[in-house]
A and B are shown apart, each in its own frame.
Chain A
Amino acid sequence: MRVQHNIIIAGVGGQGVVTLGLMISNAAISSGQKAIMSEIHGLAQRGGTVSVDVRIGDYYAPIVPDGDADIIIALEPLEALRSLKRAGPRTVMVMSTEKLPPVSLGINKKQYPDIADICSSIEKQLKLHVINALDLAREAGNYRAVNTVIAGFLLGLGLLDIPREIIENEISRVFSGKGAQANLTAFNLGYKAAEAEGIKEKAIP
């Protein structure tokens, strides 16, 4: 049986949300599956909420219906919380801990909420995998490679039905030269982080 993936990627403009969506979609297509993707470009050029939906399988509409997501990838904890309203009973969430405080916090003299509180709020409702992708991206030599770390993490967790070589080829294709090496390292660090977590999720039927 072919795995059908409804993936929502939530983050903040400038985090590489669209690039991650492209990476997953292109790799799915290269591995012989169908994929469609929806990009919503909001008002702000940077710093606004961005969400990309990827649907792998036989679909017409590019948006994942509320409650139907298999995976929600949140590149930012507040966006993880915000995307919770689109989750459903089979949703697994993967969250990167990189905090991007919205200006609304500072204006109201408030601090960013505690990551532990955010996690427990999410975990009450669904399966959550947390990764410090920013640290791993820095370790790989490029703090912008957070999205590639996440791609590795997803594969390491067994959440994506895409062969590892295919996604690595995709990374080499998208990022040229030095960028490719840092991103491949980032991917590998993400993959290992999943192994270290000692959880091997079965691909969702």
Chain B
Amino acid sequence: MSPYDSILTAKSGDRLFLLGNEAIARGVLEAGVHIATTYPGTPSSEVGDVLFEIAGKAGLKFEFSVNEKVAVESAFAASMSGLMSFVFMKHVGMNVAADAIMSIAYTGTGAPMVIMTADDPSMFSSQNEQDNRIYAQLAHLPLIEPSNPQEAKDFLKIAFHISRDEGLPVIFRTTTRTSHMRSSVVVGEIQERHREEISASPGRYVALPSNSYRYKETLISKMEEISGTNYQDLLVTRMGNPESLHGVIASGEAFNIMMDSLKKLGLDIEVLKLGIINPFPEKIVAEFMQKHPSVIVAEEVDPVIETACRSLAQKYGLSVNITGKLDGVFPMSHELSPGAVENILREILALGRNERASTYQISMEVPARPPVLCPGCPHRGTYFAVKRAVKMLRISDPVYSSDIGCYSLGDYDPFNEATVMLSMGSSIGVASGISAASDRRVIAFIGDSTFFHGGIPGLINAVHNKSRLLLVVMDNDTTAMTGRQPNPGTPVSLAGQYTREVSIEEVVKSTGVDFMKTVDPYDLKQTLTAVMDALRHDGVSVIIAKRECAILRDNRNKKLGVEVKYTVNPEKCTGCMNCVTNFACPAMSISGNRVVIDPNLCDGCSVCTQPYVCPFQAIEMEGDAGAA
């Protein structure tokens, strides 16, 4: 039985303790969604983990698409075919998908379609903290924002209703805190699925200029229609003292923090909670601002609600005093912290300073614990070999063009193999640009999933434009950083069904690169030799470092009861520290003047036994030490 089964089997009225993303997966079932698509990305990934697991049993079609744009196109195709569809991604994935989304806004949908964006304020696992509510304004699409798992599930169903009524895709925005918050959720009925009759006139889905010219007007009038309908009754709530001088307008996690802070400070202030941001619930907000001469707006991350409030105040000639980000009171960057919100309220209400604020000092130096490649990670061997090859060939000032995935951790000590890293698939485009712009040697790194996602056009571009670069494809057979989802290079697609693997070698070969070699990154000598050969080539050379993700192997070994461990023979260890300083496996550390391996962490990969890591052959398989 899978831990996710209860998300499928729970009966209406049951209470489950769910992560926001798990509640969304349940909402997908309750809404009667036929087809769900995604490209994995934190903080949205768990929605896919659940759906991948239960899709077969639930009779839902689920697809890990090659990238977010294809995921949106695929979900749209379902919608125009009369099947309710749901597509979800992390916020930056929406940039990839935006081209398609902008057109769908114009053509409109068939069966209901919802697009989820999981934003990441404070960037727990992202390259930026863009506020995707602004996409809804750009595209003129409705946007709904929940605050907790229960709402995430319930509001998702409302989003599908709006999509059905208006024939528009609806954007559903969570943040890390709502997606990764766990609380009790009362589940509802799971809807039967059915194909809907879609009667589309010829040209209906064709976004040619002549059509789009008309569609734009339709889009605007649909959005005006939503402003006038009663969705606001479902998505906007007023609570607290309606007579208070101050009023609070908030959404998402900012609403949660506000509610806790008001309670902590014993304040009875009216709060207007917005669950729909676009179209802006104009009437109710204007009325609220008329009632309260002072309004505090709390939101994450950009001043979207606040800007709308200020423009409404101007439009209706209201003399309300608005506190938010634009007047410098709330920060323009990062998620809100409860402490900061409490202090802002104290300041506005003249309550005096918070005496309980933490004054705890750490009296000793705490060694940093940056994110790290796992024990047994094949990327460690690749980075080790590349660094050594660069040193042996005396390449000064190389450019390491990195990409998004576990291997971005190669930026940290001791490898420091990231000079530049932008976005999914950018490593190759940037590398070929560097080769055109300078004489520096450039080495690009990309993972298998990222190669398929957005790397291939960059490679074709590099060959076409005669770039001089080395591309290292780090193929670990999975989309590792988001929790090991399959990708086109994996022989598994939906719920364990076997599919055809797309061969990275064949793709690379077909582009006509000048040099290509596949190596096992666990074999340091082979990898080092191949990288040196590749670097001696001009033109585009490619190394494919192929070895499955260590966690995949660990999980399989655990099931099979296989346990291999390595240990340091203290008689042979000279304390040279080459392993801990240059290889840096988390299972290894210094004890006294020797190195030790934590048996609980060692995953048995054996790479550290090779002379490049331990020149004194002091690392031995556990159990062999005595015999040696």
Q: Which residues of A contact B (CB under 8 A)?
A: 12, 14, 22, 25-26, 29, 34-49, 58-63, 65-68, 78-79, 81-82, 84-89, 100-107, 109-113, 117-118, 121, 124-126, 143
Asked if B371 and A29 sit within 8 Å, CB to CB, the answer is no
When distances are taken between beta carbons in the complex, the residues of chain B under 8 Å from A101 are 367, 589-590
Known: A41-B180, A62-B181, A89-B356. A113 touches B260 (CB 8 A): no
What are 16 A-B contacts with C-beta separation under 8 Å? A35-B183, A36-B183, A40-B124, A42-B371, A66-B338, A67-B357, A68-B356, A88-B358, A88-B360, A102-B368, A103-B372, A104-B369, A106-B579, A106-B590, A110-B590, A126-B360
> Contact residue range for chain B?
35 or more
Interface status of B182 (Cβ within 8 A of chain A) = yes
**Cβ–Cβ contact A106 & B259, under 8 A:** no
Interface string of B576-598 (1 = CB under 8 A from A): 01011100111011111001001
Cβ contact within 8 Å between A102 and B577: no
Q: Mark B528-565, 1 if CB is under 8 A from A, else 0.
A: 00000000000000000000000100000000000000
**A106 contacts across to B, CB distance below 8 A:** 577, 579-581, 584, 588-590, 595
Task: State whether A87 touches B360 (Cβ < 8 A).
Answer: yes
B551 to chain A, nearest CB (A): 6
User: Closest CB-CB distance, A61 to chain B, in whole Å?
Assistant: 4
Question: Interface code B78-105, partner A: CB below 8 Å = 1, 0 otherwise?
Answer: 0000000000000000000000000000
CB <8 Å contact, A61 and B369: no
**Which B residues lie within 8 Å of A35 (CB)?**
17, 183-184
| CB-based nearest A residue for B46 | A41
User: What A residues does B227 contact at CB under 8 A?
Assistant: none
B584 touches A125 (CB 8 A): no
In the assembled complex, the CB of B167 is this many whole angstroms from the nearest CB of chain A, namely 35
- Which residue of A is nearest B183, CB measured? A36
- Which residues of chain A come closer than 8 Å to B360, judged between CB atoms? 84-85, 87-88, 125-126
The count of A-to-B residue pairs whose CB atoms sit within 8 angstroms is: 199
B410 to chain A minimum Cβ distance, whole angstroms, is 12
**Chain B interface (Cβ < 8 Å from any Cβ of A):** 17, 19, 42-43, 124-125, 147-148, 176-177, 180-184, 253, 255-257, 259-260, 263, 337-339, 342, 356-358, 360-364, 366-375, 406, 408-409, 413-414, 480-481, 483, 551, 577, 579-581, 584-586, 588-592, 595, 598, 600-601
Distance in angstroms between the alpha carbons of A26 and B259 in the assembled complex: 24
Contact status A48-B370, CB under 8 Å: yes
Cα–Cα distance between A49 and B369 once the two chains are bound (Å): 7
A46-B374 contact, Cβ under 8 Å, with A60-B256, A61-B260, A62-B182:
yes
Q: Which of B17, B124, B148, B184 gathers the greatest number of chain A CB atoms within 10 Å?
A: B17
A109 CA / B255 CA spacing, docked (Å): 47
User: Bound complex: CA of A91 vs CA of B460, how far in Å?
Assistant: 58
Q: Would you give the shortest CB distance from A37 to chain B, in whole angstroms?
A: 4
Residues in A with CB closer than 8 Å to B339 are 65-67
Least CB distance, B106 to chain A, in whole angstroms: 37
Which of B124, B368, B598 touches A104 (beta carbons < 8 Å)?
Answer: B368
A residues near B579, Cβ cutoff 8 Å: 106
Chain A residues positioned under 8 Å from B180 (CB to CB): 38-41
How far is A42 from B374 in the complex, measured between Cα atoms in Å? 13
A47 and B358 contact, Cβ closer than 8 Å, known pairs A59-B260, A103-B584: no
Assess the A34–B577 pair: CB atoms within 8 A: no
Q: How far is the CA of A4 from the CA of B406 in the complex (A)?
A: 39
A105 with B257, Cβ < 8 A, contacts A65-B339, A81-B362 known: no
**B575 to chain A: closest residue by CB:** A109
Contact of A110 among B253, B367, B585 (CB under 8 A): B367
Given the complex of chains A and B, what is the CA–CA distance between A41 and B414 in angstroms?
23
CA A39 – CA B124 in complex, angstroms?
Answer: 11
**Beyond A38-B177, A46-B374, is A124–B369 a contact (Cβ under 8 Å)?**
no
Contacts of A67 in B (CB 8 A): 339, 356-358
For A38, A41, A48, A87, the residue with the greatest tally of chain B CB atoms inside 10 Å of its CB is: A41
**In the bound complex, how far is the Cα of B589 from the Cα of A85, in angstroms?**
26
B125 with A42: CB separation less than 8 A: yes
- The interface residues of chain B lying within 8 Å CB-to-CB of A44 are 371-374, 406, 409
Decide if A81 touches B357 in the complex (CB within 8 Å).
no
Q: Are A43 and B409 in contact (CB under 8 A)?
A: yes
**Chain B residues near A26 (CB, 8 Å)?**
17
Q: Which residue of A lies closest to B356 (CB)?
A: A67
Residue in B260, B356, B590 whose CB lies within 8 Å of A105? B590
CB distance from B298 to the nearest CB of A (A): 11
Q: What are the 5 A-B residue pairs with the smallest beta carbon separation, nearest first?
A: A106-B580, A44-B371, A65-B338, A101-B589, A61-B256
| Cross-interface CB contact of B413 among A37, A78, A107, cutoff 8 Å | A107
- How far apart are the CA atoms of A37 and B148 in the complex, in Å? 11
Interface contact A103-B362, CB-CB below 8 Å? no
Q: B356 and A48: CB pair below 8 A?
A: no
Determine whether the beta carbon of A88 is less than 8 Å from that of B184: no
Residues of chain A with a CB closer than 8 A to B483's CB: 45
Contacts of B184 in A (CB 8 A): 29, 34-35
Nearest chain A CB to B359's CB is how many angstroms away? Answer: 8
Q: Is the CB of B181 within 8 A of A78?
A: no
A125 contacts B183, CB within 8 Å?
no
Known: A46-B374, A82-B366, A106-B581. A63 touches B413 (CB 8 A): no
How long is the Cα–Cα vector from A63 to B124 in the complex, in angstroms?
14
A37 vs B375: C-alpha distance in the bound complex, in angstroms?
29
Give the interface centre of B367, B373, B551 by most chain A CB atoms within 10 Å.
Answer: B367
Q: Which of B337, B357, B406 meets A45, CB within 8 Å?
A: B406
Q: How far does the alpha carbon of A38 sit from the alpha carbon of B256 in the complex, in Å?
A: 13
- Whether the pair A107, B414 counts as a contact (CB closer than 8 A) is yes
